[in-house]
């Protein structure tokens, strides 16, 4: 298993993605009570009903370009106008659980968030294309990994670097595996210490051998980059 390094970008006012990540677009509700009027719905026909309407099922699937593995027929996927008209005689609206929060405020927004898990929310950042993301990350002041973004590799979980750091009295680098497991968030103050530790380890690695210099020089460079961003932007960093 590998360990990665990342900065807490939402703590940094200068992060290009921050405004987009903080703007909610949609949430998935665990309970749609009180939101029946505005929650999203799919128009669906059960497989049993659809097959009764279209005995030549293979032809129906083919002309509407549907998967043979489908467990229901979603009306908005139908290509054939005549098929669509017939299906609507048996269709029912089924809640998807998704709710647009645009325009919601006050108690109603609070209620929606209270019945939505953090991982089931879509922000404006989630709507950005990969190309746009790459462009924004490359030009972001938090992009510490040679313009590739604010996440980079530390190394494998059995890296010898934490052990070398422990021998050298470099507590931050030595703590990386434990910090990852504990989901520790390191502070800008920790970043200041990390800057000093990188300098110490840069001198210590040649004493361990040329192999260690080749193996860990890149990691030290990335750690230095993270530390500089953390101090400059006043944001934390972590390992995962």
pLDDT digits (tens, 9 = 90+) for 192-232: 999 999 999 999 888 888 888 888 899 999 999 999 999 99
> How is the chain split into domains, by residue range?
2-16+140-239, 41-95
49 Cα distance to chain centroid: 39
Write out the two tokens for 228. 């500089």
Q: What is the pLDDT of residues 143-183, one digit of tens each?
A: 876 667 889 899 998 899 999 999 999 999 999 999 999 99
Which of 153, 142, 147 has its CA nearest to residue 218?
A: 153
Which of 196, 191, 149 has its CA nearest to residue 169?
A: 196
Please answer whether residues 72 and 47 qualify as being in contact, where contact means their C-beta atoms are separated by less than 8 angstroms. yes
Asked whether residue 81 carries a pLDDT value surpassing 80, the answer given is yes
**3-state class (DSSP) for residue 189:** helix
Q: Which residue has the higher pLDDT, 82 or 141?
A: 82
Roughly what angle, to the nearest 10 degrees, separates helices 188-208 and 210-233?
170
Cα Rg of the chain (Å, integer): 26
Task: Report the half-sphere exposure of 181 (CA within 13 A, side-chain side).
Answer: 5
Q: What is the pLDDT of residues 38-70, one digit of tens each?
A: 999 999 999 999 999 999 999 999 999 999 999
């Amino acid at each position: 298993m590998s360990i990665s390094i990342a900065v807490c970008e939402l703590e940094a006012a200068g992060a290009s993605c921050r405004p987009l990540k903080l703007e909610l677009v949609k949430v998935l509700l665990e309970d749609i009570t009180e939101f029946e009027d505005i929650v999203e719905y799919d128009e669906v026909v059960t497989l049993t009903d659809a097959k009764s309407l279209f005995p030549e099922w293979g032809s129906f699937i083919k002309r509407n370009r549907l998967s043979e593995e489908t467990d229901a027929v979603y009306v908005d996927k139908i290509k054939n106008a005549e098929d669509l008209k017939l299906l609507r005689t048996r269709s029912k609206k089924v809640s998807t659980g998704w709710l647009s929060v645009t325009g919601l405020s006050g108690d109603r927004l609070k209620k929606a968030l209270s019945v939505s898990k953090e991982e089931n929310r879509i922000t404006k950042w989630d709507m950005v294309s990969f190309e746009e993301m790459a462009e924004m990350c490359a030009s972001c002041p938090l992009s510490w990994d040679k313009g590739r973004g604010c996440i980079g590799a530390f190394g494998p979980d059995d890296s010898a670097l934490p052990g070398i750091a422990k021998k050298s009295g470099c507590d931050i680098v030595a703590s990386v595996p434990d910090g990852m497991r504990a989901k520790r968030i390191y502070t800008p103050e920790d970043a200041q210490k990390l800057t000093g530790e990188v300098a110490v380890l840069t001198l210590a690695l040649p004493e361990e051998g040329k192999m260690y210099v080749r193996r860990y020089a890149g990691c030290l460079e990335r750690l230095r980059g993270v530390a500089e961003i953390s101090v400059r932007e006043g944001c934390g960093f972590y390992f995962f």
